[in-house]
Amino acid sequence: MRMYDLIYKKKLGNALTKEEIDWMVEEYTKGSIPDYQMSAFLMSVCFNSMNEEEITTLTMAMAHSGDMVDLSSINGIKVDKHSTGGVGDKTTLIIAPVVAACGLKVAKMSGRGLGHTGGTIDKLESIPGYRTDLSMEEFVAVVNEKGLSVIGQTGNLTPADKKLYALRDVTATVDSIPLIASSVMSKKLAAGSDCIVLDVTTGSGAFMKNVEDAKTLAKLMITIGKNAGRKMAALVTDMDVPLGRAIGNSIEVIEAVEVLKGGGPDDLKKVCVELAGAMLYLGEKGTMEECITMAENAIASGSAYNKLKDMVAAQGGNVDVLENTKLLDKAKYTYEVVAEESGYIGKMDAQEIGNCAMLLGAGRKTKESCIDFSAGIMLNVKTGDKVEKGEVLARFFTNDKESIPHAVEKYQSAITFTQQKVLKSALIYCNIY
Ligand code: URA
């Protein structure tokens, strides 16, 4: 077989066979197909798409390119969740303890972030001592004892996705529905849980810029998961505005702790309760309404917060910083961004705001960059809020004073003012089972 012929076939819009896709994934993972040929193939998928059979085959080939995690030594139903990405998305830190407090097992492998802010693993590592590199035996033991564990992806989980994702990132081929679906679902299937809830985000801070595309992606991923024997659900959620108010790493941990202690921003709490409710529903804990109430009660009673503390302690983290979040490292510099005019916030470009947080040190510019856990942005106002000239729009935290002017300029241009009252967009567009 020759990669040239597969690229040509896809360029003409024809479907590849299972043999061709399996061969391509295996040879690319081994390093026998060069990046320039794979880049051409990915771009032809962006233009000509793939049919459902091709996408399912691609997903399975990518899932089997490395270890398939065996969670059979964990007792009970294992549930997982995945977000297709967003700004200020700290939902895993809240949902995993909520679901574990309600009696399901959460054995979760998460990623690091590239681009705007850190991923869940970076956020957890802002808790001093927290180990994200547990061995498989330690991981299983923590889940069996505490009900949950969140660790980094093991070295050999979906190596095909690791290579493909890095290539897509630099060839403008990330935002393709077949490529996102196969990337997400290969990781979820390899990670071994019985039930999977997907948070498919849409809006300026998401890969899917409109709700219809997000629904198409959600339905496709559900079909792939069901065909592989998993119980599946998806919520299409808004990411036109950052979720919650904190964007960064330790400040997102603080906000997640606030929600688990019964406070925190309403939008964040609502999305978390709905996602946790869907996980409990798939885990057969009751009707959808009962599961949502169960999730709310786990927060109100403090049992979910206790689960977070159990997990952090079991993985070597300093629980004192959760009890007293003032103990977390603080950035040297704080800067207030103020409104240059009066009016309503008409629109926020969430992606650009994420990029501001990255400039301040909260995210990685390249894979090798180090994250400053204390850097980030605290939003004071969001879309639809009325502001007066001179009022604080956001607070920046950084240890890199020189990054501030550029970040301020970017932030100001990411906000659009209007004189008309603004209708806030829906937070959750639909649930799909
Ligand atoms: N998240 C993933 O894991 N993969 C994608 O392709 C996009 C979002």
Q: Which residues contact residue 267 at a Cβ distance below 8 angstroms, ignoring those fewer than 6 apart? A: 243, 244, 427
For position 114, what pLDDT does the model report? 63
**Is the distance from the beta carbon of residue 113 to the nearest atom of ligand 1 less than 6 Å?**
no
**Is the distance from the beta carbon of residue 85 to the nearest atom of ligand 1 less than 6 Å?**
yes
pLDDT of residue 18 exceeding 90, the answer is yes
Q: What are 303-328's pLDDT values in tens digits?
A: 999 999 999 999 999 999 999 999 99
Q: What percent of the chain has pLDDT over 90?
A: 93
Q: Report residue 365's pLDDT band, with 50, 70 and 90 as the boundaries.
A: confident
Q: Which residues contact residue 50 at a Cβ distance below 8 angstroms, ignoring those fewer than 6 apart? A: 15, 16, 58, 178
Is 183 one of the catalytic residues?
yes
- pLDDT mean over 58-69: 97
Average confidence score pLDDT of the chain: 96
- pLDDT mean over 31-58: 98
For position 118, what pLDDT does the model report? 75
183, 204, 374, 403: the catalytic one is 183
Q: Report residue 366's pLDDT band, with 50, 70 and 90 as the boundaries.
A: confident
**Is the distance from the beta carbon of residue 354 to the nearest atom of ligand 1 less than 6 Å?**
no
**Is the distance from the beta carbon of residue 183 to the nearest atom of ligand 1 less than 6 Å?**
yes
Is 403 one of the catalytic residues?
no
Q: How many residues are there in the chain?
A: 433
- pLDDT mean over 241-270: 97
Q: What are 134-177's pLDDT values in tens digits?
A: 999 999 999 999 999 999 988 899 999 999 998 998 899 999 99
67, 80, 89, 161: the catalytic one is 161
**Is the distance from the beta carbon of residue 157 to the nearest atom of ligand 1 less than 6 Å?**
no
- pLDDT mean over 279-308: 98
**127, 317 in Cβ contact below 8 A?**
yes
Q: Whose CA is nearest to atom 7 of ligand 1?
A: 180
3-state secondary structure 153-186: CCCCCCHHHHHHHHHHHHCCCCCCHHHHHHHHHH
User: Which atom of ligand 1 lies closest to the CA of 174?
Assistant: 6
- pLDDT mean over 180-195: 97
Q: What are 64-114's pLDDT values in tens digits?
A: 999 999 999 999 999 999 999 899 999 999 999 999 999 999 999 998 876
Six token digits for residue 311 = 């997990």
82, 123, 245, 307: the catalytic one is 82
Q: What are 105-117's pLDDT values in tens digits?
A: 999 999 887 667 7
Alpha helices in 171-302 (DSSP H): 177-190, 211-227, 250-260, 266-282, 288-300
- Taking the alpha carbons of 377, 382, 387, 389 in that order, is the dihedral positive or negative? positive
- Ranges of beta strands (E only) in 173-320 are 195-202, 231-238, 246-248
Q: Is 196 buried (19+), middle (13-18) or exposed (0-12) by CB count in 10 A?
A: buried
Of 382, 304, 244, which Cα lies nearest the Cα of 100? 304
10, 90, 187, 188: the catalytic one is 187
Domains of the chain: 3-48 (1.20.970.10), 78-323 (3.40.1030.10), 329-418 (3.90.1170.30)
Six token digits for residue 187 = 């990781």
Q: Report residue 274's pLDDT band, with 50, 70 and 90 as the boundaries.
A: very high
Give this prediction's pTM. 0.96
Is 168 one of the catalytic residues?
yes
- pLDDT mean over 328-337: 96
**Is the distance from the beta carbon of residue 180 to the nearest atom of ligand 1 less than 6 Å?**
yes
